[in-house]
Chains A and B, each alone.
Chain A
Amino acid sequence: MSSLQARLARWSWDRFFLLALSFIAVCVWYFSTQLIQPYPHNANWFESAALFPKLSLLIVAVAGLIEIYQRRHQMASGESEELDSSAANIQDAISMVVAFALYMLAVPFLGYLISTLLFLSVGCWLLRFDFRTSMLLAITLSVTMWVVFVKVLKVYFGHAWLI
């Protein structure tokens, strides 16, 4: 294993994530001439529509690199200041994200009520609730949501095969 590979192997995934964000910011900064249409080539720098987004991207890239350096030297705080996800089971979270994505896809075809019922049933199953609790929860919640949002608040979900 080369020294570079050994060094990379010691990198935690959060530093890779920060690096990826900084890298994306640099790429977007670099390709701004293509990503702003039409690009104001002839405008003064201080009147350009690219000035502020480019400055923002610079902040993202530089601050991201400083954060990576701090984490590398263990200068950054290890505790979450906002949302504590330390006990979260990441597999469960991924399954729920997949279920949510399918739910988003299902609503235009199956309708809000049926999609919500299915999503809640699958969600309860993923969370290992017993069958009776799952059905009770899924039916009660989906019908309540449907009545409140579709019937009372008139949120329109478009034409679907079912309701």
Chain B
Amino acid sequence: MEFIDALSGGFSSLSTLPIALALIVGAALGIVVGVLPGVGPGVTIAVLLPFTYGMPPLGGISLLLGVYCGAFYGGAVTSILIRTPGEASSIMTMFDGYPLARQGQAQRALSLAFMSAFVGGIASALLLGLVARPMASFAGKFGAAENVMAILLAAVCIGKAYRRQFPAAMMMMGLGFFLATVGIDPNSNEQRYTFGIPGMLSGIPLVPVAVGLFGIAQALVMVSSPVPQFDSSLIQSAGLSWRGFLEPFRYPKAMLKGLFLGSAIGVLPAVGAALSTSLAYFWAQKGAKDPTPFGQGNPEGIVAAECANNSNSGGAMITVLTLGIPGDAITAIIMGVFVVHGIVPGPSLFTDRPEIINGVLASLLIINFVILGLLILTVKPLARLAYVNPKILGLVILVLGFVGSYSAANSMYYVIIAAVFGVFGLVCARGNIPTIPLILGMVMGDTLEASLRQLLGRSDGSLEPFVTRPMSLAMLIAIVVILFWPFFMALGKRFQRSNTSNPS
């Protein structure tokens, strides 16, 4: 009942023209950027972020959520038709989508993908509605110790998601934490690392850093890389089939596997849609109903991958709304909209601004309907966007990056920051150093520092509260286990080996 009330409240929050328009524009933009070569939702959201400042908070959030969800759908178009995934998370769709398209069944493959993504999107929005409130009331019991541990746990999970690049990811996370401290210290009014530059007194703002790292760096790569060649013969065959739309429901097992993995992994920080789609794809292979081999056009491969792909969005928003911890770069930037409007994501948001929570839930539901409607109307011309030269898009992103960072504060200082971080992002990309942890560190840094100082101030510098409070201790143990898991595994293997070589 509470859920229904929340949903109807959310629908009424969205029923103003600017918010509804933002939602539709965001969804349309998301689909387009999903299809456009080289442009991802991260770039678009970073460039759009400054323009959301003048909007009502829910309008800005709906616009960015539209881009976020729309790109998941759009990415499938190029995966199926030209064997080039629009997003990393669409790779698994390509394995069976492209062979189906080559067999003259492009319309069936696209319909399968869109309907599966739609089911995933709706299920994840419902999950958000059902899980977020109880989780927020649980998180409401968190004190400073739990906040510190939750952020540290998220940081370690993010680092571990980069597998062998763990130290590089942690280095960038540390850099993000440090950048968040630049400016006037809110507790003691001391000027920290401002180098006497007046603009830096207010700190290093998130917007130009995001525009630089995701927008300008990506644009520089696009303008300096050769134009990718692809087989465009199947683009003409883009379309949809009504039978294909109903087909995913013939494979409920594959659908459930995708939904389960997508939602569960979506909640974990930084693990992301790419892993959930590949796990769902391989899981769907076991006990598949359709006899077609996977990789040669099995519809269940598309269903599992697309369900998992689009069910990530709701899961990723759960940690943002309930804990104030973003799971990836996109949700970190979306969190920026909250912060700019003076809204602090976390458990208190559910009591202070319930209309925002309900609005996000309703947006996620409506966005999926809007996207499906737009795809039905425009899939044919949409597929042609794959022809657009990425170098031209790179130039456009540079110009938009300039005006986007400038307009955030009508200041050239912001453009300079964006340009510096753009070049830094390019150098990091060349050196294979991840930059997403930097943004996440910047977003979480303020809360981490405030909670840490609050805790240490109360305990006179003692670290005891971290181990005396059960939730904090549990998270601390989780951090230690995650950090030292490879050592435990190695120890286990050595023990096993010594047992097999010496059975007595």
- Considering the chains assembled together, what is the distance between the CA atoms of A118 and B323 in angstroms? 47
Residue of B nearest to A29 (CB): B178
Q: A63-B171, A137-B392 are in contact. Are A53 and B224 (CB under 8 A)?
A: no
B399 within 8 A of A: yes
Q: Are A47 and B164 in contact (CB under 8 A)?
A: no
Q: A36-B192, A124-B395 are in contact. Are A77 and B171 (CB under 8 A)?
A: no
List B residues 385-438 near A (Cβ within 8 Å): 391-392, 395-396, 398-400, 402-403, 406-407, 410, 412, 415-416, 419, 422-423, 425-427, 429-436
Residues of A within 8 A of B449 (CB): 52
B311 within 8 A of A: no
- Considering the chains assembled together, what is the distance between the CA atoms of A29 and B194 in angstroms? 14
Residue of A nearest to B396 (CB): A141
B470 within 8 A of A: no
Residues of B within 8 A of A39 (CB): 190
Cβ-neighbour of A93 out of B173, B175, B426, B445 (below 8 A) = B426
Cβ-neighbour of B223 out of A21, A64, A96 (below 8 A) = A96
A9 within 8 A of B: no
Per-residue 0/1 for A114-146: is the Cβ within 8 Å of any B Cβ (1 yes, 0 no)?
001001100110110100000001000110010
A90 within 8 A of B: yes
A162 within 8 A of B: no
- Considering the chains assembled together, what is the distance between the CA atoms of A18 and B391 in angstroms? 30
Per-residue 0/1 for B462-481: is the Cβ within 8 Å of any A Cβ (1 yes, 0 no)?
00000000000000000000
Residue of B nearest to A146 (CB): B403
- Considering the chains assembled together, what is the distance between the CA atoms of A66 and B398 in angstroms? 35
Determine how close the nearest CB of chain B comes to the CB of A68; give it in whole angstroms: 9
Determine how close the nearest CB of chain B comes to the CB of A118; give it in whole angstroms: 12
B114 within 8 A of A: no
Cβ-neighbour of A46 out of B185, B425, B432, B453 (below 8 A) = B453
- Considering the chains assembled together, what is the distance between the CA atoms of A103 and B240 in angstroms? 45
- Total interface residues on A, CB under 8 Å, equals 80
- Considering the chains assembled together, what is the distance between the CA atoms of A49 and B450 in angstroms? 11
Residues of B within 8 A of A82 (CB): 429, 434-436
For the residues of B in contact with A, the DSSP-based class is helix
B225 within 8 A of A: yes
A57 within 8 A of B: yes
Residue of B nearest to A47 (CB): B457
A13 within 8 A of B: yes
Per-residue 0/1 for A66-104: is the Cβ within 8 Å of any B Cβ (1 yes, 0 no)?
110010000111111111110111111100110011011
Q: A90-B224, A104-B416, A153-B51 are in contact. Are A56 and B178 (CB under 8 A)?
A: yes
B127 within 8 A of A: no
B162 within 8 A of A: yes
Q: Are B220 and A123 in contact (CB under 8 A)?
A: no
Per-residue 0/1 for B219-252: is the Cβ within 8 Å of any A Cβ (1 yes, 0 no)?
0110111100000000000000000000000000
Among B188, B195, B435, max chain A CB count under 10 A is at B188
Q: Are A67 and B177 in contact (CB under 8 A)?
A: no
A30 within 8 A of B: no
Residue of A nearest to B190 (CB): A49
Residues of A within 8 A of B431 (CB): 13-14, 17-18
Q: A17-B431, A137-B392 are in contact. Are A46 and B399 (CB under 8 A)?
A: no
B373 within 8 A of A: no
Per-residue 0/1 for A41-56: is the Cβ within 8 Å of any B Cβ (1 yes, 0 no)?
0011111011111011
Determine how close the nearest CB of chain A comes to the CB of B29; give it in whole angstroms: 14
Residues of B within 8 A of A47 (CB): 453, 456-457
Q: Are B402 and A53 in contact (CB under 8 A)?
A: no
- Total interface residues on B, CB under 8 Å, equals 73
B191 within 8 A of A: yes
Q: Are A88 and B190 in contact (CB under 8 A)?
A: no
Residues of A within 8 A of B410 (CB): 155-156
Q: Are B395 and A120 in contact (CB under 8 A)?
A: yes
Q: Are A64 and B167 in contact (CB under 8 A)?
A: yes
Q: Are A59 and B170 in contact (CB under 8 A)?
A: yes
Residue of B nearest to A115 (CB): B402
Determine how close the nearest CB of chain A comes to the CB of B171; give it in whole angstroms: 4
Q: Are A104 and B167 in contact (CB under 8 A)?
A: no
Residues of B within 8 A of A55 (CB): 177
Cβ-neighbour of A88 out of B177, B181, B430 (below 8 A) = B430
Cβ-neighbour of B191 out of A36, A67, A96, A107 (below 8 A) = A36
Q: Are A119 and B399 in contact (CB under 8 A)?
A: yes
Cβ-neighbour of A85 out of B178, B195, B426, B441 (below 8 A) = B426
A interface, CB within 8 angstroms of B: 13-14, 17-18, 21-22, 25, 28, 32, 35-40, 43-47, 49-53, 55-60, 63-64, 66-67, 70, 75-85, 87-93, 96-97, 100-101, 103-104, 107-108, 112, 116, 119-120, 123-124, 126-127, 129, 137, 141-142, 145, 149, 153, 155-157
With A107-B402, A119-B399, A149-B403 given, can you name 20 additional A-B contacts, CB distance below 8 Å? A14-B431, A17-B427, A25-B174, A47-B453, A47-B456, A53-B192, A56-B445, A64-B167, A67-B165, A67-B171, A77-B163, A81-B162, A88-B225, A97-B220, A103-B402, A104-B416, A104-B419, A127-B223, A127-B395, A137-B395
The 6 closest A-B pairs by CB, nearest first: A59-B174, A14-B431, A46-B456, A63-B171, A46-B461, A92-B224
A–B pairs, 18, beta carbons within 8 Å? A17-B433, A18-B431, A35-B195, A36-B191, A37-B191, A40-B190, A47-B457, A49-B187, A56-B174, A66-B167, A77-B165, A80-B429, A88-B426, A96-B220, A97-B422, A100-B422, A103-B402, A119-B399
B interface, CB within 8 angstroms of A: 51, 54, 162-165, 167-168, 170-171, 173-175, 177-178, 181, 185, 187-188, 190-195, 216-218, 220-221, 223-226, 391-392, 395-396, 398-400, 402-403, 406-407, 410, 412, 415-416, 419, 422-423, 425-427, 429-436, 441, 445, 448-449, 452-453, 456-457, 460-461
